[in-house]
Structure 1
Amino acid sequence: METSRNEFLWRKAKKRAGFKRHLQNYFMVNAGLWIIYAIMSIQPWGHHHLYPWPVWPMFGWGIGLLSHYFSAYGNPNERRSTEIEYEKLIRDER
């Protein structure tokens, strides 16, 4: 038996699942970058002279992650907002 799916909620669920994958990737990759930085800094040539460069990828990617968050969670009542805008367009059309 197949149940009917609410397409609006399905799209919202896909956005949220995508954000969670994006967040996991962010933490895994940035943890790896900090591990590389730590290994480099304990080398004789890198001892206390190495700039903490992983902050820049974290910052740049963090901006994208924040944007993704607001896309997935930012407007809790997106359906109602869409209906209001649609009604405005209908009124303007007349």
Structure 2
Amino acid sequence: MNEPKDEVLWQIAKERVGFKWSLLSYVFVNLFLIGIWYFGSKGNLDHFWPIWPILGWGIGLVFQYLKAYHGNRVNNVEKEYQKLKNN
């Protein structure tokens, strides 16, 4: 039943699962921060301070997404090698 794992695919799968957990954490933590802002502002909703963690963490999440879903350099190098070899 236990067949050997392809290490490249295993690493890609780990990165994608990690991204999904990070995204879930991002949503819940930022909803919590927005709740703190909303209920703690006592009617003064002028300064939306949760925007800073939302933007900062969001930028990091974009890079994590790009690495997990578009950053497989091993396959990209292999494809380029095959193109050059066939020309």
Letter in 2 for 1:83: E
TM-score, normalised relative to structure 2? 0.81
- Verify: 1:13 aligned to 2:8, yes or no: no
Distance 1:32 1:78, change over 3 A: same
Checking the alignment, whether the CA contact within 8 Å between 2:33 and 2:50 is kept in structure 1 is yes
Larger RCO: 1 or 2 (CA < 8 Å, sep 6+): 2
TM-score, normalised relative to structure 1? 0.75
Instruction: Please report the RMSD computed on the Cα atoms of aligned residues, expressed in angstroms.
Output: 1.9
Matches of 2:58 and 2:7 in 1, distance apart?
29
Matches of 1:68 and 1:49 in 2, distance apart?
32
Shift of 1:79: 3.8
User: Who wins on radius of gyration, i.e. which is larger?
Assistant: 1
Structure 1: runs of 5 or more not aligned: 88-94
Distance 1:9 1:36, change over 3 A: same
SS at match of 2:15: helix
Letter in 1 for 2:65: Y
Q: Partner residue of 2:25?
A: 25
Matches of 2:53 and 2:75 in 1, distance apart?
37
Letter in 1 for 2:54: M
Structure 2: runs of 5 or more not aligned: 82-87
Letter in 2 for 1:12: I
1:53 to 42, 49, 56: 49
Moved over 6 A (4+): none
Percent of counterpart pairs with the same letter?
A: 41
